[in-house]
Structure 1
Amino acid sequence: MVAIATSCNNSRDYKDSSRATGWKFNSRDGGFQYNTSYQEQTTAPGLVFIEGGTFTMGRVQDDVMHDWNNSPSQQHIQSFYMDETEVTNLMYLEYLDWLKSTFPPSEPNYMNIYNGAVPDTLVWRNRLGYNETMINNYLRHPAYRNYPVVGVNWIQAVEFSQWRTDRVNELILEEQGYSTRGARYAAQKGEVDIPFNTETYINAPTQVYGGNDSLLQGRLVERRLERDSTTTGIYVQRKDGVLQPEYRLPTEAEWEYAALGLIGLREYNSYRGRKKYPWDGKYTRTSSRRGRGDQRANFKQGDGDYGGIAGWSDDGADITAEVMSYESNDYGLFDMAGNVAEWVADVYRPVVDDDFNDFNYYRGNVYTKNAIDSLGQVVVVDPQTVVYDTLSNGRIIARNLPGEIVNVPVDENETYLRTQFSESDNRDFRDGDRASSRYYNQGNNGEEIPASKRMYNSPIQSVGKATRTVYDTTYGEREEYIDGEYVMVPDTIIAPREVKMDEMTREYDRSGTRTSLIDNQVRVYKGGSWRDRAYWLDPAQRRYFPQDMATDYIGFRNAMSRVGSKSQGNKRQRG
């Protein structure tokens, strides 16, 4: 009995000391420093917690359109967080204001940063309709401030997500005393040329804020410096559990799982039936006494009917509606059906390959790594090395911003003898590549498969390229003095090189042999919109659209991965 009690006491003692060595953590004398008081991930601004689980992904109702593009499959989703509402005009305007003040478009180096992020307001135009008021007012007028932003393409949505991550973490560092008060405004005020970036802070904190280390001397840092004059350990690292993971677009599987809200039908470890919509029942109208007969989402109810007749507007809107105008689903998410359809992260393919993977399914992985220079330091973008690109419609956008780390594709150093992946770009994996094409025996010697013989041969619109910066990687050796002698060591040099803009030309693909609109540049969007009939309100419905184009009916919301336990509050499962 004594031995058992001693064992229990020792296990509790390991909270502040190493189970491996017995050394005490966080000792002032030295040793390993670690956050032993960490509880669990806090919910970041705007998000709600979605506990993961198993569900049937895909269409469980009749396929009246005969698309055959989403056969039912069982998938498991890890817990994550999702925006309570769609990203609104006000949220996006805050992003535009930050870009405009931080990177003034009047400066030639920055001109296309702001202009490339502005939504395309011309999506409201209709050749036989009058919508000029929407073009001028929908994004910026305060009457629409809490309406979902539209006219945003997939690329812009991704860039917004990255900006949001940095601003949230920048505030966390300031509030917890790791940076000076007001440091988050330094870039907007022009006090520094390079703004805060989360990944740069973690990997190369001395390069944040353009090397202005004084902005990272908060009260907590100053106390640490009083005890130890060195800068070792004064910056937050991942092991401290202070910074939030990145905001991002949800995967298609996550979005569908969250929209269904099956937790409302759960009884122990099974579901009591299936759901056609994010709400219970087979109908789009509410049966509650209050508001009986009203529509439960904003959608098109028939030809020429976008919201009922005057005096009885049963869905309360003719175009988009203010967020939270309708009841939430069982996860507390609003407008997961209707209002606007939403971008998700996935590249579109007709088949969801559940035979290969049924855990956190996602098609679209392009693996990259941080670029490292010849001195072993990460390469950080500065105002002169921003990478610009020209979209298929001729619009010029910034692919990165000053302060971000340059990313390059993973190479053989990461893929050699790997069983999980063998190359950087996996968008074509098992669907559209050599192995799955009917011409699989071609291209085995490294030659390109002719476009006419590819599985997906969507039209190619040719557009002249804008001025941009590319990074040339050179592999070789350099001489270094080691242990009293000069030796040759491997060397990697990553150097920026400016590519001049070609004359802007636009050429249409007039080929009559195209058999598909699918390629690696089309992304899935989910959920019905104010322009759609009720059929598209089913969370299982999936459609696709070019990632560099925008519409007046597609918006987006953000997600964030959950780190740690599946459930919140250390909830125990019932047996």
Structure 2
Amino acid sequence: MNVKIIFKTCLVVAFSAVLASCSNKDDYKDNSRATGWSLDGREGGLKYQTDYKGQETGPGLVFIEGGTFTMGKVQDDVMHDWNNTPTQQHVQSFYMDETEVTNRMYLQYLDWLKYTFPPTEEKYKNIYTGALPDTLVWRNRLGYNETMTNNYLRHPAYQNYPVVGVNWIQATEFSKWRTERVNELILEQKGYTARGARFEADASSTFNTETYINAPTLVYGGNDDITRGGKASDRREKENTPRTKDGSGEAKNLYVQRKDGVLLPEYRLPTEAEWEYAALGLSSIREYNKYRGRKKYPWDGQYTRNGSRKTRGDQLANFKQGDGDYGGIAGWSDDGADITAEIKSYQPNDFGLYDMAGNVAEWVADVYRPIIDDEYNDFNYYRGNVYTKNAINPDGTVKVVTADSVVFDTLSNGSVVARALPGEIVKENVTTEDTYLRTQFTESDNRDFRDGDKQSSRYFREDKNDPMYNSPQHSVTAVKDSTGAVSLDRQYDTNNNRTTLIDNEVRVYKGGSWRDRAYWLDPAQRRYFPQDMATDYIGFRNAMSRVGSKSQKGKTAR
């Protein structure tokens, strides 16, 4: 009898201790550890997100858990470029598109631009035309490719094929557009904005994530019925209105803010380090805290054909197998594609990513340089930072691009593109006042940092205006005649002293394509191309940064 009483008493004590420990552990979620104040926002107090469940995976993305890896090729180098010397790098966790951006995805972007900024109006014409892929990239002076020229982008037979003819700038602008449309839908689905508002937007009433966060009353053309038109907005207004005796309380924090964790980070092009890490998918050769060797391709093994029993001999990607051989002999040995292939035609890698070799090569965010400067940085390596800040009006509000204040840039190939769309916040470079006494950066443009300037590990020239990379400088200027008509004056650089094509406007592209030999399927291979030019073999996919924990599920068993 005494034994039973003692046993029950021990259970009660243990259970109470567990409850107490859980209570102590969770106390900080609802109350401030600094002041002890409640963080639920009632009675006029401050409100914070205390039950955040973690970042949601955006449409089309898969999670890539970060880690360390050897960036750069360590096997074949028949080109003797020496531009991918192996370096040890660490990449934070991020998300990446499961597949390449398809024609149908890009057409949705074009149709939205056409609907929102009608190209029939002269002031909007270049917004739409500047986003159009160059379908003439398929043409060959000694080849008949008019079928692809006329059909590849828009015909439904190619709707799930990767988009091509898109330059780096266009890919970046698509990424921005995708961010806005995803976050716009999230706000609507969660009841913060009016349902269906995204279908009613025009040139003067668009949605932009950064504008919504910094100046929410300016999105949708300042239409308060939209920005506060959902059930969640009504609830938020009640929760954020201080309870005063005379009822004169003024509602605060009515709009979703960054601290609420509702909006997703931006869609963007992956960095070169992220792309290479994701393409390798090294999890299959990990053993405890080391890798067993190195993968030559995104899949295991040293060959491009499948070695499994059921599909033995099948090609694992589409690529050029030899002179005049873009797919193999028709039938069993064929890789199933002569140009690009429909997405998901081949098996994914260990991260669940499709076509990280073959199909199309892909733009990444980085400015190209022959070396990776791991001596300066080995964490989230990226060359291409140009730091900006929000432009501020004299009254202290942020400056937003309007339908009548769009600024257009003329690219070196003559294309005209919008610098920012209506509804976006105007950006300007950071100044010396912003960087005063900072140790980590001193300038706005850091694309050529440690590459021929005073802070480089090696000196090249004393005059900083005399660049290390002496590339051609073609110029295109808009000229108005007496009638007001605008024409482009193209001036080719004919200087015979030019020594390279590398400058701050060339970007890295990764992965082999349908036009490439197997040599280029190695994820560590790297090449470059002018950012304002396009080809029939370069496409892209998007990435998104992971905020919060490194892992989605915590550590797994060994």
Residue matched to 2:47: 33
Residue matched to 2:463: 442
Task: Give SS of 2:26's match.
Answer: helix
Residue matched to 1:199: 210
Return 5+ residue gaps in structure 1 as ranges. 468-499
Residue matched to 2:521: 537
Residue 182 (str. 1) matches residue 196 (str. 2): yes
Aligned residue identity for 1:41? Q
CA distance in 1, matches of 2:279, 2:536: 21
CA distance in 1, matches of 2:376, 2:119: 47
CA contact (8 A) 1:465 1:501 kept: no
Residue matched to 1:396: 416
Residue matched to 1:74: 88
TM-score, scaled to structure 2: 0.92
CA distance in 2, matches of 1:225, 1:394: 50
Q: How does 1:379-528 map to 2 (within 5 A)?
A: 379-436=399-456, 438-443=459-464, 448-449=465-466, 454-465=467-478, 503-528=487-512
CA contact (8 A) 1:389 1:465 kept: no
Residue matched to 2:347: 327
Residue matched to 2:539: 555
Q: How does 1:29-178 map to 2 (within 5 A)?
A: 29-178=43-192
CA distance in 2, matches of 1:501, 1:359: 51
Q: Decide which of 219, 233, 248 is 1:221's aligned counterpart.
A: 233
* 1:315-366 Cα distance to aligned partner (Å, 9 max, x none): 1000000010000000000000000000000000001000000000000000
Residue matched to 2:4: none
TM-score, scaled to structure 1: 0.89
* 1:458-483 Cα distance to aligned partner (Å, 9 max, x none): 1111111489xxxxxxxxxxxxxxxx
Question: Which shifted more, 273-282 or 261-270?
Answer: 261-270
Structure 1 residue 441: Cα displacement: 2.6
CA contact (8 A) 2:452 2:459 kept: no
Aligned residue pairs total 531
* 1:267-321 Cα distance to aligned partner (Å, 9 max, x none): 2221122100000000001111222211110100000000112233521000000
Structure 1 residue 213: Cα displacement: 1.1
Task: Give SS of 2:79's match.
Answer: coil
CA distance in 2, matches of 1:434, 1:464: 32
CA distance in 2, matches of 1:354, 1:156: 30
Structure 1 residue 408: Cα displacement: 0.3
Task: Check 1:567–1:317 CA distance in 2 against 1; reply closer, same or farther (3 A cut).
Answer: same
Residue matched to 1:359: 379
Structure 1 residue 503: Cα displacement: 4.6
CA contact (8 A) 2:313 2:333 kept: no
CA distance in 2, matches of 1:311, 1:574: 44
Residue matched to 1:212: 223
CA distance in 2, matches of 1:410, 1:416: 11
RMSD: 2.0
CA distance in 2, matches of 1:160, 1:8: 46
Question: Which shifted more, 65-74 or 230-239?
Answer: 230-239
Residue matched to 1:315: 335
Question: Which shifted more, 357-366 or 208-217?
Answer: 208-217
Return 5+ residue gaps in structure 2 as ranges. 1-12, 242-248
Residue matched to 2:7: none
CA contact (8 A) 2:479 2:489 kept: no
Question: Which shifted more, 10-19 or 247-256?
Answer: 10-19
Structure 1: 4+ residue segments shifted above 6 A: 4-8
CA distance in 1, matches of 2:545, 2:90: 14
Task: Give SS of 1:225's match.
Answer: helix
* Percent of aligned positions that are identical: 72
CA distance in 1, matches of 2:555, 2:134: 48
Task: Check 1:466–1:241 CA distance in 2 against 1; reply closer, same or farther (3 A cut).
Answer: farther
CA contact (8 A) 2:307 2:313 kept: yes
CA distance in 1, matches of 2:485, 2:363: 30
Residue 302 (str. 1) matches residue 322 (str. 2): yes
CA distance in 2, matches of 1:37, 1:70: 44
CA contact (8 A) 2:320 2:514 kept: yes
Task: Check 1:568–1:537 CA distance in 2 against 1; reply closer, same or farther (3 A cut).
Answer: same
Aligned residue identity for 2:420? N
Aligned residue identity for 2:96? M
CA distance in 2, matches of 1:230, 1:555: 51
CA distance in 2, matches of 1:547, 1:466: 24
CA distance in 2, matches of 1:501, 1:231: 53
Q: Decide which of 285, 299, 310 is 1:290's aligned counterpart.
A: 310
Aligned residue identity for 2:468? M
Residue matched to 1:264: 284
CA distance in 1, matches of 2:546, 2:208: 21
